[in-house]
């Protein structure tokens, strides 16, 4: 059986967001289901450590980092209309970054085959200078920079299947040809970025691959995108490590989006990612949690993800497919545009 790690600790629960939709109940639901199903016992559980500030500053400005710390020391505050911090949030955010870094280190050293960091706050919207979209520090972007510098990698693939576009991650690697950023997201939707023609610049032209999907897409559409776009671009890029911004807010029960993905759909996407990692980079695959706000759907989707990572057959999905789903949108034209932009056609 695969040696799969779960980075998690109670520190992630003390980022107190009150009644905000991004709250500690998300992780309580996930961990509760993993314990109830006994799946947690099959995982290597890693207690997260705080990342050094210097690591955070490989992606974020010192002013941004100091600003978050200062707000938290003052007791917390709303940073934007959608993003709030409490007194403990700066420390928790350092542990979120640290959890992603530990996943990378353990997989790169061969101590684990793959890993999933169940972190919060999430990260992929955080830009160099700005916290936004519930995100303080960009966990996955910092992890990618760490993999390049500390593990001397030349090619890292980031796959982002959160329903929102990871504008912060895109910004971090816009001109960096060593990181291929691939994103599926509902469009037009928050944060407004992620059009097909946003493809990177300079030496990194083509190293950003955006697939802006219309509302209503479900398992078939997502899996088609993965097979027809992600698989060929990944094979061409030949990553030495695959990192994943794992957001589960495209589930049909999650009211944050109009998407229709099921738990089994997520299992299918993760299965493709695991197969790609085994084919291209010795199975090196590290995920970090992003969105997902319907607690039951989130917990079941994360459980299915762990089952795939472990090499097990995913359990039956009690939620099933979206009831009364209308005719799925036709994405053939979009896929043609993406393939043309990235020379896949």
- Alpha helix locations (H) across the chain? 25-36, 53-56, 62-73, 89-108, 139-150, 167-172, 219-225, 231-237, 263-280, 295-310, 332-341
* Active-site residue set: 125
Instruction: Measure the CA–CA gap between 253 and 292, rounded to whole angstroms.
Output: 10
Q: Could you tell me which residues come within 8 angstroms of residue 217 by beta carbon, excluding any fewer than 6 positions away?
A: 186, 250, 259, 260, 261, 328, 329, 331
Q: How many CA atoms lie within 13 A of 181 on its CB side?
A: 31
Q: Is-contact 119 48, C-beta < 8 A?
A: yes
- CA distances in angstroms from 109 to 104, 112, 128, 299, listed in the order given: 8, 8, 29, 29
């Amino acid at each position: 059986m695969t040696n799969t790690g779960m980075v998690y600790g109670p520190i992630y629960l003390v980022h107190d967001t009150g009644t905000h939709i991004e709250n500690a109940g998300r992780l309580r639901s996930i961990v509760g289901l993993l314990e109830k199903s006994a799946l947690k016992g099959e995982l290597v559980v890693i207690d997260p450590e705080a990342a050094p500030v210097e690591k955070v500053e490989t992606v974020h400005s010192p002013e941004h980092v100091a600003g978050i710390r200062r707000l938290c020391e003052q007791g917390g505050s709303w940073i934007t209309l959608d993003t709030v911090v409490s007194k403990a949030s700066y420390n928790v955010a350092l542990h979120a970054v640290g959890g992603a870094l530990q996943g990378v280190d353990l997989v790169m050293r061969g101590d684990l085959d793959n890993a999933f960091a169940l972190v919060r706050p999430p990260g992929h919207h955080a830009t160099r200078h700005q916290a936004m979209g519930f995100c303080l520090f960009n966990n996955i972007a910092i992890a990618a920079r760490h993999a390049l510098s500390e593990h001397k990698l030349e090619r890292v693939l980031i796959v982002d299947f959160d329903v929102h576009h990871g504008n912060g991650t895109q910004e971090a690697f816009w001109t960096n040809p060593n990181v291929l950023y691939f994103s599926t997201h509902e469009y037009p939707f928050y944060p407004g970025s992620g059009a097909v023609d946003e493809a990177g610049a300079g030496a990194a032209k083509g190293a950003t691959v955006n697939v802006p999907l219309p509302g209503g897409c479900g398992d078939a559409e997502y899996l088609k995108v993965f097979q027809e776009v992600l698989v060929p671009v990944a094979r061409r890029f030949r990553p030495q490590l695959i990192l994943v911004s794992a957001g589960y807010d495209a589930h049909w029960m999650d009211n944050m989006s109009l998407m229709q993905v099921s738990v089994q759909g997520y299992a299918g996407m993760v299965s493709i990612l695991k197969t790609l990692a085994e084919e291209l980079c010795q199975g090196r695959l590290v995920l970090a949690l992003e969105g997902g706000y319907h607690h039951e759907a989130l917990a079941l989707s994360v459980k299915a993800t762990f089952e795939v990572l472990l090499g097990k057959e995913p359990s039956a999905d009690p939620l099933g497919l979206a009831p009364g789903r209308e005719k799925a949108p036709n994405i053939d034209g979009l896929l043609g545009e993406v393939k043309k932009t990235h020379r896949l056609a």
